[in-house]
Structure 1
């Protein structure tokens, strides 16, 4: 029982720390001062959650402070594109 509690706490702390450093996804329009710095894309992921996580990771790696998903699709394997902003 202690092992289950330990792993649950470890997973919770890991996901909380990752979420705090990731780039923010914009809901509709970028902020007034935001400048588009590029586009990132991902393909070959299994579901929408993984697609969003990969796009967020690529946006962060590119130095973006925020991103907006502009395209997503696929059947067995998903693909997507996001604009990144500074």
Structure 2
């Protein structure tokens, strides 16, 4: 029973720590600069840095970034 409790607590803490330090945000814009400026503003508001993990261009730009503190 102790082993089960230890595993459950470890799993809960690892999920909590990941959620506390990483957040995914998306933005759209007419250009890459427009979309990135939206992400940069969100990162500044959260007091975090960002890393762009996806960008797609069709008629608009759709960008996804991960914020980390």
TM-score band (shorter)?
Answer: 0.5 to 0.7
> Which runs of at least 4 in structure 1 moved beyond 4 Å after TM superposition?
none
User: Is 2:32–2:61's contact at 8 Å kept on the other side of the alignment?
Assistant: yes
Residue ranges of structure 2 left out of the alignment (5+ in a row): 1-19
Is 1:40 aligned to 2:40, yes or no? no
What is the RMSD of the two structures over their aligned residues, measured on CA atoms? 1.6
Aligned length: 50
Shift of 1:51: 1.2
Q: TM-score, normalised by structure 2?
A: 0.63
Structure number with the higher helix fraction is: 2
Q: Which has the larger radius of gyration?
A: 2
Q: TM-score, normalised by structure 1?
A: 0.52
